[in-house]
Amino acid sequence: MAAVLLLPLGIVLGLYVFIYYNFIRGRQCKSDSSLTGKTVIVTGANVGIGKMTALDMAKRGARVVLACRVKETGEAAAYDIRSLSGNNQVLFMKLDLASIASIKSFCKTFLSSEPRLDILINNAGIEGKGKTEDGFNLVFGVNHLGHFLLTHLLLDRLMQCTPSRIVVLASSAHKRGRIDFKNLNPSGETWMEILQAYCDSKLANVLFARELANQLQGTDVTCYAVHPGVVLTNLARGFPYWLQVLFFPFAWIMLKTPVDGAQTSIYCAVQEGIEMYSGRYFANCQVQQVKPHARDDAVAKKLWEVSEDLLGLTK
């Protein structure tokens, strides 16, 4: 009887492995570039894609700063990464992207204590309702404005350590995004509004990378927007509990692992020869064309200017 049950179970398991490795997992970063002597910041590196990205950077010999909101999980992740990589140059620094004061404090601490910054990976993201400490829509405030300000404050150090790179974690959700300059700060209370705000913020990420590349022409700093794939992370922690329970069994089976989801971020951080694609959108470890609304330079430039105004950078 047991043998009869094991046969179909083995077939199902074998079929799942075949489907995952051929259709879900995606390409892997094959670069063996060393990062010895270089410094990397990864935001949201305490869990998921960010943690796996930081682990890869540490294995390549980089000094890695885990920029995270929660001290306990950030320090635990740093300990894990040091143990797994054998690299003791992995440290936690507190950063809350929902707080302008926290972002400024992080940058002040980093710039006064770390002489180098070679790679900035804007990985952290959120889906949830509410406002930031400064009154912005939480999703737009963290996913776009927080990283916009962080990049702005660290850009001089990146320019001092060229060639350097900036990786912005976007998403294919940008396809359903829209930039409504009359309503950049929606209430975002229902989960449908939260989903739309997330799509809008991911479009903002793609446009930010595009305009940043335009601003950086003539320098040796390059930037890339990245779609990690659909990955099993805790990103949906802001959703209603019933929806998380309903979604989890499907997610556990059909979504990428964080290790596989980190591959395109890693690729854009270390792969040689992609500098000509600065400002472009990458998925599955290769550059991809985006729809017209995601490569509208006029909208990208206006979003940059509006973001500066919202953050008080033009005063």
Catalytic residue among 198, 224, 267, 281: 198
Question: Catalytic annotation on 20?
Answer: no
Please report where in the chains the tokens 């900035």 appear, as a residue: 120
Please report where in the chains the tokens 């209603």 appear, as a residue: 240
Please report where in the chains the tokens 């492995």 appear, as a residue: 17
Using a 10 angstrom Cβ sphere, with 0-12 exposed, 13-18 middle and 19 or more buried, the burial of residue 252 is exposed
CA distance 276 to 183: 34
- Side-chain-facing half-sphere of 73: CA atoms under 13 Å: 13
Q: What is the DSSP string of 96-147?
A: -TT-HHHHHHHHHHHHHH-S---EEEE-------SB-TTSSBHHHIIIIIIH
Question: Structure tokens of 94?
Answer: 């507190």
How much helix, strand and coil, in percent to the nearest 5, is found in the chain? 55, 15, 35
CA distance 8 to 237: 35
Question: Structure tokens of 157?
Answer: 């150090």
Q: Are 82 and 90 in contact (CB under 8 A)?
A: yes
Residue type for position 42: V
Q: Give the residue numbers marked as catalytic.
A: 198
